[in-house]
Structure 1
Amino acid sequence: MTSRRTRRRSALRDRLAAAFLPEPVEEGGGEPLTERGWQATLAGLHVVAAAVWVLAVVTAVGLQDGEGRPAAALTVLGILAAAYALFGARAIGGGRPVHAVVYLGVLVASFAALGFTAPVLFFMLFLAYPQVWFVVQGTATGIAWTVLLAVSSAVGPVVRAGSGDEARDVLLSTGVSMVFSLALGLWVSRVLYQSARRADLIEQLGRTRAELTAAERERGVLAERERLAREVHDTLAQGYTSIVVLAQTAAAQLPEGADAARERLAVIEEVARDNLQEARAVVAAFAPVALEGSTLVEALARLADRFGRETGLAVRVDTSALDGGVALRRDEEVVLLRGAQEALTNVRRHADASSVAIRISAVGEGDARQVSVHVEDDGVGFDPARAEGAGLDGLRDRVASVGGAVDVASKPGAGTRVTVRVPGS
């Protein structure tokens, strides 16, 4: 019940603010100043406001007969000061539309009252007009509140005017002050708008630079992985192959009765074969599957085909859950492809599986859309909570860099499923 009442009050405040204030994004986003600069600006505004109020109080206390009513003027000044302390200062700080509406309403009413009680205090319009623009920070709404403030301040002097000429002079002076206020306000609004646009451009430039840096780093990592793959293939893998062949040749040349030596050679061959398999797994994990000129689905199909030929396992690529296709940035495609490679490398090394399935899915819409690659095997499985390895940790870091996540589901004797998920559009 309390939550419903709170939501109702919040909706009422939003409608009230929308009727009198512009939307925060009316003229671009971003802060026109740094946080430190903006706080210094606010402090300056508060100091100026305090100085003008002190001067107004001194002037009100010293009012002579015919200039106004001191008690009424001091009452209006007190109300205006309280409204500024409770609402105006916070509204100028930004992000408080209800405070802004209340303060502007009190401001207009106060100057309407001063027009009847102490027009001599209208020098405070020097403070009031700029405050309107700092509170609303929007062109159309700033013009509306400025005109309303000017009209309210002119009502009292016009009503009290002793002649038509005096009333005309009041309207003329009010109109001139309003025109100058509008000109100043429009200039301030334009400066704020341009400053905000520059802030947006700087922010976009920073994001673009960060993306380029990440892409360059990724390119460097991939190049280094490819170099390591070539080095492993040309050195370690070839060396282990030679050891296997030499062990087989030596065993064939042994005379009858050399069982102990033949056993030692068999052990050497077995160790060399195991290390050759590990070297080939490293090469398979590091060797790139080209994405240039092809889609992610095509690259995964080639990866599955190559893995099947190298291991003899049955590998199936399933795209039935690919709802609406795949629309990804290149770095996101690379992350999904590398995730599939890492998962297949673990299948090769540890799973002792007979079949592997690679599934690609795209679910959700808009900002909630996600694209996933699932690699599932029917191998021996393991306990993910007790597993340690740099491969999955590195994969998680890489996926996190594009806002994605990695899930590993497995248990002993029940196979393993690795899911790599990234945001999709």
Structure 2
Amino acid sequence: MNNETQFIPRATPAPYRQWGEDLEPVSVQQMVNACNLPIAERGALMPDAHLGYGLPIGGVLATRNAVIPYAVGVDIACRMKLSVYDIPVKRLLRDEGRGRFTEAIQAETKFGVGSFFREKREHEVLDRDWSVSPITRDSKDKAWKQLGTSGSGNHFVEFGEIQIADTSLGVEPGTYVALMSHSGSRGTGANVAAHYSKLARAAHPELPKDLAHLSWLDLDSEAGQQYWAAMELMGEYAAANHACIHKYIAANLGLEPILDVENHHNFAWKEEHDGQELVVHRKGATPAGTGVLGVIPGSMASPAYVVRGKGNADSLNSASHGAGRVMSRKKASSKLNWKDANQLLKVRGVTLLSAGLDEVPFVYKDIDEVMGAQSDLVESVARFFPRLVKMAPAGERPED
């Protein structure tokens, strides 16, 4: 076997640091594997980490002049958005009010694999150059049809009450109604990920089978430049999805937001670390540079946190993207039941419009423990409590 077909790892693994205890060994091993890549410079493992493809969910990896499609993720630019409205919380909590908010969510969102709007939403993202890659060029109409939709898996749209304690957010501290959404770049993003991951694997036949999902594209290559441009476009498209969801629901209810917070958590950025420009992949990790705001959700029955980054260099300015799963979808479907889940939802004051058993609260870690494990990465400036939750119906193939 010659050097062109033999994997040669780094002489010494790239350093990485872990947050949180009792992380599953397979996710830790995935981080170790990534740090052995010859392009790897540094890594970090967040407290919500769990098994992924190639890089674990909750994994952060900095590389030199190379991007790993599967270290960005299948759902490119999956992100959070939260909008705050200055209306009395009792409007949401009383029965007749909750019915009105339910009608708005049902009318202005779409869930499920392949879901789309018959009357297409409009957004300036459609005026961007979609010919940056053959995949985005050929998928523009599909992307337009799916604009403003949420797909399946762990994606959601929910109303709740938010408690703001920080005075620097530009609104008076207090309790407000808020809308929170979680989704990404839908079918077009998945097509981009699949196409360029295939090209990356073809470019690196030397990688053993257990490392194949860590195949990379050099940014100097045509494929690398196409992927990067497509990824950036998918970032704008995912942001547009959220913008449409929030715009149309707010218009349905006659509301105007007084505060918006949003962030990607499946993306790659060119950043300076250790005195050099690196490509920082955050797969299921939230940007947490000094002063940067982000949203970290828990589950349908536990709080989400609006956070401000502390700029911890050891984490490559990153934090968790959520609570993190402790149970696979298959296990959840066989071990859990709706009786227990509905009882917990009732106690927590949550009305669930639709979801699968594989997304009930028991499949996630305790978000407060996760937040406690990363107190050196972010500070909490507000907490959001779900009250009205919509996810994809049971039986949908997960797209997260």
Using the size of structure 1 for normalisation, the TM-score is 0.21
Which of 1 and 2 has greater Rg? 1
**Whose helix proportion is higher, 1 or 2?**
1
